[in-house]
Structure 1
Amino acid sequence: MDRPLPVQTFRRLPVTRRAIAEPLPRNLLIGPLVAALLAAFGGPPARAQPAGAAAAEAGGGTLLLRHGGAAPVAAPRLAADAAIAVSGPTARATITQAFRNTTAEWVEGTYLFPLPEDAAVDAMRLVVGDRVIVADIRERQAARRDYEAARAEGKAAALTEQQRPNLFTNAVANIAPGETVLVQIQYQQSVRRSGDTYSLRLPTVAAPRYSPAPPAVQQAAEGREAPDPVPDRHAIAAPVLDPARHGPVNPLTLSVDLKAGFALGSVASATHAITVEAPSDRERRIGLRDGATAADRDFELTWTPAPGASPGVGLFRERVAGAEAVLAVVTPPATALPAAPMPRDVIFVIDNSGSMGGTSIRQAKASLLVGLDRLRPGDRFNVIRFDDTMETVFPDLVAADATHLDAARRFVAGLEARGGTEMLAPLQAALRDARPEEIGRVRQVVFLTDGAIGDEARIFSAIAEARGRTRLFMVGIGSAPNGHLMRHAAELGRGTFTQISTVGEVADRMRELLVKLESPVVTDLAATFSEEAEATPSLLPDLYRGEPVTIAARMREAKGTLTLTGRIGGAPWRTVLRLDEAQDGAGIGKVWARARIGEAETARITGRMTPEAADAAILRLALDHGLTTRLTSLVAVDATPRRPKAARLARTDLPLNLPAGWDFEAVFGQDLPHVPGRAAPGRPAEPGRPAEPGRRAELIPATTGTIALPQTGTDSELRLLIGAALIGLALLMRAASRRVAP
């Protein structure tokens, strides 16, 4: 049977760099079926609501949104499908989002959605009926102007904008009453590797983020107001459903075509129930066991090589635009002799803000307790907790003896999730080094959080300024952490990032991290190309046993050598790679360009490049490689107006699920809709605390809000047809028996 979102058909379309609108080929004439399947879970189009209506029609299950004092409007329904093809070190993903207008009005829908933090988004298509409009990449402001003009003219249009490297918005204009339109996005990303484990992660929900309020007082000396730490706070906010009142929305189906390039061992997911097919020893086909799932947690897939099949070095190349892109993934030997352990100073920082409510705070506390148990005699430590306040257990570092450890354990056991997420002050306190000249000790910060904040740039800048000899290890907690913050903070802090999605993973994941912290570090790491090359990263991080280094480069021709040198403990380490032996790979050029853009963004934030120079470099790379960035967007505009001039256009933000395991009341306060004095997302309702400026999208509770997820991975439709046929046959037999009865 057909999937509700037939992504495979769209991948056959030719990609052009201009907008097109033409009849679909025969294999794409499936729009009516898609609409029918979506109608099966969405229900019939709702009748138009009177102005100012505060609830949905009884039994309709319609979710109503309103902005400020405007009249509420019904939210479009959304379903999504993800199809991911893994080829060795890279993955190509196609995300199809189906927007269904369940109302009697013309609608513009805006949807906030996450992607992997290293996603190189390079293609978008808008499908309206039998027409396919292929997007162009343009400078952000120009793309926005084209979209707004098309919206005003009544044309079908879609706009994809990056709000953060891992957070995007889709706006779709002029969806007709009862109509379903499809927006398809494609991106390239790298596969992660740690030791012999490879992994791929797909975020499915944009978690609510805490945005610190701008300073309320003016800087009198300069006669100007202090800058807003989150100037785009409205762009990264969306209405969120209370799971106690509403069933899940935004159902997701998913498939992964895994071609690892080596014989495979285990293939598993700790986050979702999956099915796995094995066409060959090097291939796997993965799907969701239940066919569809709520978009409320990240999907993670891990795989390992069969015994003896693990490659020591991964070297790949791709010819793009007259040059070659090279990707090298090198793992230091795990058999290196361990150096004598050095005493450590470890500062544990734990986030106990409102967004950590529910299972997240239990995961974080359990993780911290595992960390305390791994401390050795001779180590020193401290514990800092924070929400919108902060507190340290001890005035300074203390010895890891029984008395101090017991006091720390009691402190951790009593923590509860509440309040906002003011991360800057505790981070600065943890990085502050009172003994910068001390030798013979390793200084490490282990930071446990979900990263649900909007002021990432301030965090990155603080790390770059104050890291010194400290190494920062980020531990992502919960079902939907902010991967961009976590991974980039660890890179700047020359540490590592560990993700803990479930309580069951705490012991294993923390043990893996702590073993790395105790293992010999690869220091003084350097990479040298024998031929001229534009390589990234320019500054290589410290590495721990089993942690690979990934280097991407662009050069005229992949020839010569790449030499990596460093020290493991006190012994030198050296590896030489011949670039002409690199295997052919796909998407290497996109991966390189995305990494270079990330470096330019970091250089701008940390002051190593002027804003003007960084923006120029980012814009050039984005336009040359067709990538969506902070400065570029994808826009698709149909040529023909479709909305009648007299018809009004209702504008809505599509609601999101609360990430699995989060506590709604701890994040938002007691109830919705929002009222003066009640807590905004992640912020306690404290007397005298200024409210965040501007409007906030609010959810108006519906009479019934549950939307059943479609079980499209089962044979339910076939069984319904068989059941209907059997019922019909039974009725015929009953009628016949009555006719022949005496």
Structure 2
Amino acid sequence: MLTPLLASERRPRTVSALSPLFLALLALLVSLASARAMPGPASGSLLLRGSGPNAAPVEAPRLKTDVTIEVSGPTARAVVTQAFRNTTDKWMEGTYVYPLPEDAAVDAMKLVVGDRVIVADIRERAAARRTYEAAKSAGKAAALTEQERPNVFTNAVANIGPGETVLVQIEYQQTVAVSSGTYALRVPLVVAPRYHPAPPVLDLASERPASDPVADRDRISPPVLDPSRHAPVNPVTLTVRLNAGFPVGSLRSATHQVRVTETEPDSRLIRLADGIVPADRDFELTWEPAPTAAPSLGLFRERVGGQSFVLASVTPPEADPAPRRPRDVTFVIDNSGSMAGASMRQAKASLLAALDRLSPQDRFNVIRFDDSMDVLFPDSVAADEGRLQTARTFVAGLEARGGTEMLAPLKAALADPRPEERTRVRQVVFLTDGAIGNEQQIFAAIAQGLGRSRLFMVGIGSAPNGHLMRHAAELGRGSFTAIATIDQVAERTRALFSKLESPAVTDLVATFSEEGAEVTPTPLPDLYQGEPVVLSARMPEGAGSLTITGRVGDRPWRRTLPLSAAVEGRGISKVWARANIDEAEAARITGRLSPTAADATILNLALEHKLMTRLTSLVAVDATPRRPAGTPLAEVDLPLNLPAGWDFASVFGEGAGRPVHQALPPRERRAEDIRPAPASVSLPQTAAGYERRLLLGLMLLALGLGLSRAVRMVR
């Protein structure tokens, strides 16, 4: 009897407990469940902050890139096709930053909209921008390509309709790099985030507000995806058709898996083994001649507009081994945040390998830097075992952190306390990814402070700043070596330091028998063993001969080449013009040309040869307006992948605060731009259908109250 009595006593209490409170909670849960069931953004979509402080988030357009390169002997012609897909229901303008080789002669661009192909014109930069903005306002399809650095470009594409895909196709010419018998082609695929030093408040010399060392920081700082939160974007396909001009021996890529098809003894077809890869690292391809097939002479000629353009590549003979001269070597290693992870391991391994090659007659020092710097010894010290061990311990303990303040350590390394000492060779070896925006400051410091030093740049990681590296080495009369993976450290470090220890080929002079030849570079640089003399020239006829003289070690060397033996080549005029533009830029930095004279030279060459430079741009505009009048145009900056091997938190800091890698962040366009931010954007509208859910909740609440009243009446 006890159990039924207890059960009967529990029953009304249960009903009473369920009535008002439980049913109200049930109504709330139903409402929340309905809200959670409402569709949000499409799966895999990427929301970007819209233009304007209170703009709603905008789904990022999709970008896919196809790169096709045809190598013909010493030159390569590339076609880069970028498919820009507007996945939204809005009319769109998209801007994206992308890399090209630092020596690329960009000379063509097309915009393809449906069945319409619009060929771009080369114009002065300001005029091209005005043309683009006018077309954008008028609702016309338009594209504008601008150079921000010789290896960093910006594309803006306007008035792309909802659900529409347009193509932007860019073409460029470049030379193939050669060193120690190895030919190399490098294709940048991602622009690494750059550190931008803040300007000093006051210019101490003039007592006026200081100029910004990176005045265009906003234009070279696109949003960057955190790989821990976002899948890679910007897929890439790549094909290389190699016509080497000689039987090919070994061929490989250290950066990507490739499929190689032999079409002829001197031809190969190379494709990415994975087909499509994310744009998160540079592509590198190297090949060597088959044994006994190495060419000793490369002489090519192209006729354009009644003029001849010549490209010559000649490798001097190796010098007899000479006694090693004692050296003073200063090693500079970058341990800033962008070097975190694989790059830091590669840099430390390279520097430790370099220390092992020092001899007791050498002197050395080590400088490390991030946004501060340390010099290991007060002055260069003898490379005895005790000091080398101190240096090894110092290097092994380095950790990547902070910003990339490169100027101070560079000046410290170039500072020469014994400029009159000529019995020793003075060398600076600089290991960095070069992820900075103030390249001009670095170049100016090299030009002013080089003295008798020679500067050797070692580019570390999956996406080094090739423009900084190569131009710094040229100004520093040294060489540039890229180390993309840890597997390359031993091989490329050995090759670099073998060059440093070998006698240079000096006093090089090129003379054409025909009058009026315009030769570049002038003067010819010093060379190290295994490096060819590479020069280009423009002349009226292209007849006669070319004579190159110099000294190989302590012996005079001379080579005369009949121009009648030159092979017909393609794109040599573009290569010559691009080299002259680079030389004018260098002359402006070193003071050999005034800024006005250098700009005039660059502009004339760019317009004559239809090349894109910092003073000229490519603009393509469709004639017919497309966007209906009064329809708004959404504006977004497309995000980039973080380069492979980089650590996002080490570069930008933990959380959504100000990036530690950036002294003055531009428009806060980093990780916080790639998610809806409640303080500045409208949240997704998840309350649709709230009237129905509110009515259901009220009905359940009324039912609960009715049941409660009925229970009380029963009592």
- Indicate the residue corresponding to 1:166 in structure 2: 151
Structure of larger gyration radius: 2
> For residues 78-125 of structure 1, what are the alpha-carbon distances to aligned partners after superposition, in whole Å with 9 as ceiling and x for unaligned?
000000000011000000000111111111000100000000000000
Aligned to 1:534: 518
- Residues in 2 aligned to 1:203 and 1:693: alpha-carbon distance in whole angstroms: 24
**Separation in structure 2 between the aligned mates of residue 534 and residue 402 of structure 1, nearest angstrom:** 52
The residue type equivalent to 1:415 in the other structure is: L
Q: What's the counterpart of residue 480 of structure 1?
A: 463
Distance, in Å, in 1 between the alignment partners of 2:42 and 2:555 is: 73
Matches within 5 A, 1:186-205: 186-205=171-190
In the alignment, does 2:365 pair up with 1:385?
no
Specify whether residues 691 and 598 from structure 1 end up closer, same or farther in structure 2 by C-alpha distance, changes over 3 A only. Answer: closer
| 2:504 corresponds to 1:524 | no
Matches within 5 A, 1:416-495: 416-495=399-478
Letter paired with 1:165 = P
The answer to whether structure 1 residue 175 and structure 2 residue 155 are counterparts is no
Q: Which residue of the partner structure matches residue 370 of structure 1?
A: 353
Q: In the alignment, which of 563, 575, 595 is matched to residue 579 of structure 1?
A: 563
Instruction: State the SS of the aligned residue for 1:342.
Output: coil
Between the aligned partners of 1:364 and 1:595, the Cα distance in structure 2 is: 31
Judge conservation of contact 2:51–2:634 (CA < 8 Å) in 1: no
Q: Distance in 2 between matches of 1:548 and 1:67?
A: 51
- CA deviation digits over 1:266-316, x for unaligned, max 9? 111000000001111011000000101010000001111111111111010
Residue matched to 2:572: 588
Deviation at 1:222, TM superposition (A): 4.1
SS of the aligned residue for 1:403 comes to: helix
The equivalent of 2:328 in structure 1 is: 345
Residue 129 of structure 2 corresponds to: 144
* Matched position secondary structure for 1:553: strand
Counterpart check, 1:411 vs 2:391? no
1:61 is matched with: 45
1:667 is paired with a residue whose SS is: helix
Tell me how far 1:696 sits from its aligned partner. Answer: 3.6
Q: In structure 2, how many angstroms separate the alpha carbons of the residues matched to 1:129 and 1:183? A: 12
Alpha-carbon shift at residue 527 of structure 1 (Å): 1.7
Q: Per the alignment, in what secondary structure is the counterpart of residue 585 of structure 2?
A: helix
Which of 188, 191, 194 is residue 206 of structure 1 equivalent to? 191
Contact persistence 2:223–2:673 (CA under 8 A)? no
Matches within 5 A, 1:312-351: 312-334=296-318, 336-351=319-334
Structure 1 residue 284 corresponds to structure 2 residue 264: no
User: Within the alignment, does 1:102 sit opposite 2:114 as a pair?
Assistant: no
DSSP-derived class of the 2:71 partner: strand
**Do the aligned residues in 2 keep the contact of 1:526 with 1:540 (CA within 8 Å)?**
yes
Check conservation: 1:262, 1:282, Cα contact below 8 A.
yes
| Residues 506-517 of structure 1 aligned to structure 2 (within 5 Å) | 506-517=489-500
Give me the whole-angstrom Cα distance separating, in 2, the residues matched to 1:572 and 1:442: 21
- Work out the CA distance in 1 between the residues paired with 2:337 and 2:670: 19
Contact 2:218 2:666 in 1 (8 A): no
Q: CA deviation at 1:528?
A: 1.8
Q: CA deviation at 1:702?
A: 5.0
2:45, 2:59 within 8 Å by CA — same for their partners in 1?
no
Question: Does residue 653 in structure 1 map to residue 653 in structure 2?
Answer: no
Q: Is contact 2:197–2:664 with CA below 8 Å preserved after alignment?
A: no
Go from structure 1 to structure 2 and tell me whether the alpha carbon gap of 1:669 and 1:150 turns closer, same or farther (over 3 Å shift).
same
Alpha-carbon distance in structure 2 between the residues aligned to 1:667 and 1:577? 52
Choose which of 631, 635, 659 in structure 2 pairs with 1:679: 659
* Secondary structure of 2:197 counterpart: coil
Verify: 1:305 aligned to 2:289, yes or no: yes
Whole-Å Cα distance in 1 between the matches of residues 238 and 336 of structure 2? 32
The alpha-carbon deviation at position 218 of structure 1 amounts to 5.9
Contact residue 296 and residue 314 of structure 2 kept, 8 A: yes
Equivalent in the alignment of 1:88: 73
Contact 1:64 1:699 in 2 (8 A): no
Whether 2:336 is the aligned partner of 1:356: answer no
Aligned positions, number: 636
Aligned residues of 2:226 and 2:671 also touching (Cα < 8 A): no
Contact 1:64–1:75 under 8 Å retained in 2: yes
* Secondary structure class of the residue paired with 1:265: strand
Alignment of 1:217-256 (within 5 A): 217=202, 222=206, 224-256=208-240
**Inter-partner Cα distance in structure 2 for 1:104 and 1:67:** 16
Give the alignment of 1:657-668 within 5 angstroms: 657-668=641-652
CA-atom RMSD in angstroms? 1.5
Partner of 1:19: none
Asked whether the 8 Å contact 2:546–2:561 carries over to 1, the reply is yes
- Normalised by the length of structure 1, the TM-score is 0.84
* 1:178-213 alpha-carbon deviations (Å, 9 max, x no partner): 111100000000011012110100000000011111
User: Does the CA-based 8 Å contact 1:387-1:421 persist in structure 2?
Assistant: yes
- Tell me the SS of whatever aligns to 2:213: coil
- Counterpart Cα distance in 2 of 1:572 and 1:223: 53
- Report the 3-state secondary structure (helix = DSSP H, G, I; strand = E; otherwise coil) of the residue aligned with 2:49: strand
Partner of 2:3: none
CA distance in 2, matches of 1:216, 1:611: 25
Shift of 1:63: 3.1
- CA contact 1:213–1:692 (8 Å) conserved in 2: no
- One-letter code aligned to 2:646: W
Deviation, structure 1 residue 671:
2.5
Structure 1 contact 67–698 (Cα < 8 Å) conserved: no
Aligned position for 1:605: 589
1:548 is matched with which residue? 532
Conservation of the 8 A alpha-carbon contact between 1:67 and 1:696? no
* Shift in CA distance, 650/666, structure 1 to aligned 2, threshold 3 Å: same
Q: Is contact 2:659-2:665 (8 Å) kept?
A: no
Shift of 1:174: 0.6
Partner deviation per Cα, 1:371-396 (whole Å, 9 max, x = no partner): 00000110000000011111111000
SS at match of 2:587: helix
Offset, 1:701:
4.6
Map of 1:617 onto structure 2:
601
Structure 1 distance, partners of 2:237, 2:665, is: 36
The structure-2 alpha-carbon separation of the partners of 1:359 and 1:668, relative to structure 1 and needing over 3 Å to count, comes to same
1:399-454 CA distance string (max 9 Å, x none): 00001000000000000011111111111111111111112211111100000111
Structure 1: 5+ residue stretches without partners: 1-54, 684-689, 704-742
1:568 to 538, 552, 555: 552
For 2:566, the aligned partner's letter is A
Contact 1:67/1:697 (8 A) holds in 2: no
- Which blocks of at least 5 consecutive residues in structure 2 are unaligned? 1-38, 677-715
Conserved 8 A contact 2:75-2:571: yes
What is residue 24 of structure 1 aligned with on the other side? Answer: none
Match of 2:141? 156
> Partner amino acid for 1:367?
S
Asked if 2 retains the 8 angstrom alpha-carbon contact of 1:112 and 1:236, the reply is yes
Q: Secondary structure at the match of 1:627?
A: coil
Is the Cα–Cα contact under 8 Å of residues 447 and 589 in structure 2 kept in the other structure?
Answer: no
Q: Is 1:73 equivalent to 2:58 in the alignment?
A: yes
Paired residue type of 1:614 = A
Encode CA deviations 1:454-483: one digit per residue, 9 max, x unaligned.
Answer: 111111111111111111100000000000
User: After TM superposition, what 4+ stretches of structure 1 lie above 6 angstroms from structure 2?
Assistant: none
Tell me by how many angstroms 1:66 deviates: 4.1
CA distance in 2, matches of 1:199, 1:699: 38
Distance 2:558 2:384 in 1: 39
The alignment status of 1:498 with 2:481, answered yes or no, reads yes
Contact 1:478–1:502 at 8 Å: present in 2 too? Answer: yes
**Cα distance in 1 for residues equivalent to 2:99 and 2:222:** 12
Q: What CA distance in whole angstroms lies between the structure 2 residues aligned with 1:525 and 1:381?
A: 30
